[in-house]
Amino acid sequence: NSPVYEDVFLEHDIFTGAEGLYRIFPNGDMFFEEQGSGILWVINQYGVVLKTTLKSDIEGYHYLPNWTTTYLDDELQSLN
């Protein structure tokens, strides 16, 4: 077995040195947080669906995501 979406990780240098996280959604997309760089990814077998950086109000800096929480629709409904 090879790691999930390894080719996408390698092609786009997706990496976190510490305290990142991931979640695989029911449709197969993977959410991945690079905590140190502040980059949030959604990838799948075809490549990158989303790449965004949590920018800071201070030029040249970014916010640390610090374990982003993702919710599916049914999970949000259960919170009500």
At CA 55, angle to CA 51 and CA 60, rounded to 5? 115
78 C-beta neighbours (distance < 10 Å), count = 9
64's tokens: 């640390």
- DSSP annotation of 67 reads S
**Average pLDDT for the chain:** 89
Give the confidence band of 1 by pLDDT, cuts at 50, 70, 90.
low
Give residue 58's pLDDT.
84
Q: Residue 32, Cβ neighbours under 10 Å: how many?
A: 22
pLDDT (average), residues 66-76: 90
36-66, pLDDT tens digit by residue? 888 999 999 999 999 998 888 888 777 888 8
DSSP-assigned letters across all residues of 18-29 = SS-EEEE-TTS-
State pTM to two decimals.
0.83
